Amino acid sequence: MDNRVRQSGGMKRSTESVTFGDAEKAAHFVLKKLDDNLNQYSRTFPGIHSERLRYPHGENHMWAHGFWTGMSWLAYDLTGDDKYRRAAEAQLESYGQRFRMKVNGVGVNDGHELGMVYVPSCVAAFKLTGNREAREWALQAAELLRSKTTKNGMIYQHQSGRRHRTVIDTVMNLPLLHWAYEETGDERYVDVCRRHIEHVLRLNLRENGMIYHAVDLHQDSGEPINRLAGFSPGSCWSRGMAWGIYGLALHYSRSSHQESLQAATAMTAYYISRLPSDDVCCWDLYYTGEREQRDSSASAIAVCGMLELLKHMDAHAEQRPLFEQVVSRTLHSLTGDYVSVNEAGCNGVLLHGVYNLPLWAGVDECCLWGDYFYFEALVRCIKDWDRYW
């Protein structure tokens, strides 16, 4: 075992049903990369995706910046090294400042991604250290997210005219509301989660486990006006699928909502059916060819989602062995062929990620969420991890 990872007497070993023998070696590489980056970004945040395989410097104002702070919390959780706690705590004040910050006249917390921002940063801080300021900022974010609902109870991404748009990604933000309920006892938080999931299963879930990424709803009736998928109306955006698998598995873990478990299982089966030979998905599940653009970040999220899903599947479920095999094979592929071990000058962890291919932004680059969820998957395979989500 790498001596930077807590020895077995200091932590409980992983209870995941999937083992990955190279997890500790891979985690050592992530820690080394994180050490280098903490020196580079001591007073700034990295951009949310790399540019020519290097993260630019920036501020904490985007939807994915919580994953940067989350990397330090995972490192502290895994190693017990206070330098990672200090690094994460030094960033926390910026999460309070986000409530007052605007970019181009728009508040940076006006979006629907507040769970992704505040769970791996402030909720993690409170769970690991009892930080009360972090707790208050996370509760403030939860209240703001709760307020972003249509009159039918669905959280919207944005509104335009008499339309509200909701996206599958939002299910990954619901853990913030579940946590807020656990902290306050205010049932309005879980009521929003319940109603939002009901709408997702009705509007975003398609036949055979496919999903629509976005649905435009009429403001008054709540009925769908338009649906968007990914590459084409008949395709399925990979990262949206990964968010959905993980988010629905997490919702089941909090609610025991059987339809969420069934949907996550069906989505996982479809996701697996569209994987190329190395089990790392292309950016859209329409593609399966060996030369198509992969999205390693979507695969990292999907692995975490499958690990969570496997915790709740019946031990004798017919699909369980396949799901376990795909998790193992994907981790082997990501670790063997997608981490930046041999990429001189790259300061990210996971290569070949995609932010937005149609806009050609962050294509074949490192992404903060890809680095974070790859690390989370490794931590899950090393220790009995008390998740932040």
Residues making up the annotated binding site are 169, 239, 243
Distance CA 55, CA 113 (A): 21
Cβ proximity of 279 and 328 under 8 Å: no
Residue 269: C-alpha distances to residues 241, 245, 247, 323 (Å): 11, 10, 16, 8
Residue 329 neighbours by CB distance under 10 Å: 15
Annotated binding site for substrate: 169, 239, 243
Distance CA 29, CA 38 (A): 14
Length of the chain equals 389
Q: Which of 309, 304, 301, 306 is CA-nearest to residue 354? A: 301
In DSSP terms, 356 is beta-bridged to: 361
Cβ proximity of 32 and 349 under 8 Å: no
Distance CA 286, CA 271 (A): 10
Residue 35 neighbours by CB distance under 10 Å: 15
How far is residue 387 CA from its own chain's centroid?
12
Distance CA 70, CA 88 (A): 8
The number of C-alpha atoms within 13 Å of 166 and in the hemisphere containing its C-beta is 32
H or E segment to which residue 149 belongs: none
